[in-house]
Amino acid sequence: MVIRLSRRMLALSMRYLVKARVKPGRHQALLQAISDGTLGKGSVAGDEYLRNMEQARMAADGLATWVEICFCHTPLEEERPYWESYFDLVDIRDAHNRKNCRDENGSEPWACMDCDCTERLEQHLVKSGASFLSHLRTASLKDERPTSQENDADGR
């Protein structure tokens, strides 16, 4: 899947590094929403949610991490309700130092128009952990299995 953004949209966007933990018991529902393409359905962000999950990494601390392109004045204002149905959002911060952004620091106005910083940030993120989707598939199988307490209650 390839998401194409207009140059104007890129100039108005910010990149955030999002760290989140899947809510207990929500792994299977999240995987289903990703699989059937309904994750973020109804949001103006469209397929961006699916792209985020494809790029997300699972860190050793159990947090999913991804780069979010956001056009809101408040970080993830539009996206937050969609993410919070599956995740506890732990940390949302600028994905890169704004003083190093040529557009933000004034050294090159409109530099975002031809900037590949999202791609570079995601390439860097790949080094930080395993595929989140692989982890999610494994965790969703665990969600399906009855716990030992449920086994005891059933007399198994």
Q: Is the pTM of this model over 0.85?
A: no
Expressed in angstroms, the distance from the first to the final Cα of the chain is 45
Span 139-146, mean pLDDT?
Answer: 72
Bridge partners of 151, per DSSP, are none
At residue 114, the pLDDT reads 60
What is the token pair recorded at 132?
A: 């989140």
CA angle 114/115/119 to nearest 5° reads 130
24-83, pLDDT tens digit by residue? 999 999 999 999 999 999 998 878 899 999 999 999 899 999 988 877 778 889 999 999
Helix residue spans in 20-131 (DSSP H) = 27-35, 48-55, 80-84, 117-126
